[in-house]
Structure 1
Amino acid sequence: MDQTHTVPALTPRERAAAQAYLRLLGTVRAAFRTAPESAAPLAVPPAALKEAEEALTAAGLKGNEPRFFTLLLGYAGGGGASRGTG
C-alpha cells in the first residue's frame, strides 16, 4: 500500500520563517567550514539571528519548536508544491 505524506501549504509568514531559518543554518554551516578547528567562537551575524527570531515571532511559531520543525521538514524536505519564494 502506497503511503504518501501530504504536507499542508504554508502561510506566507510560515514560509518566511522557514526561509529565514534555512538562511541562518547556511550561515552557521559556512562559519564552521571557514574555521573548523579554530578555538575562536563562531561569528554569526546578529542580523541573521534577528531575522530568524522576527520571522518565527511573526508566524506565531516562537516557542513552538515542534510545530516549526514539522513545517520546516515539509518545506525543505519534500513539500514540493508548498515551497515558494514569497
Structure 2
Amino acid sequence: MKNQFTIYCISDTHQRHRELTEKLSSIVNGDILLHAGDFTNYGGTFRSQGGGIDDFNMWLGSLPFKHKLLIFGNHERVLIDDDDLERVK
C-alpha cells in the first residue's frame, strides 16, 4: 500500500483568514495546507494595518497541519522588493 496524505488548498482570503479558523482548526489529520495566493488586499494596505502580516503568520502557524505552503499571488507583489524580482527572472 502506498503512503497517503491529505492536502487542503485555500486561496484569495484577502485579509479575512481568521474567518476560516474554526473550520481549519477542526481538521485533525491534515498533512499539508496550501495557501495559493492573495492573502492580502494589495499588500501595502495589509502591511500598514498594525501587524497584518504578523497576524497572518501567527494564524497560519496555529493551524494543525504538519506542513504549510504559502504561494504569493498578484496581491502580494508589493511585498517583494524589486531586487528580489530581478533574482527570480
Structure holding more helix per residue: 1
Would you say same fold, with TM above 0.5?
no
Higher RCO, 1 or 2 (CA under 8 Å, sep at least 6)?
1
| TM bracket, shorter-chain basis | under 0.3
**TM-score, length-normalised on structure 2?**
0.26
**TM-score, length-normalised on structure 1?**
0.27
Structure holding more strand per residue: 2
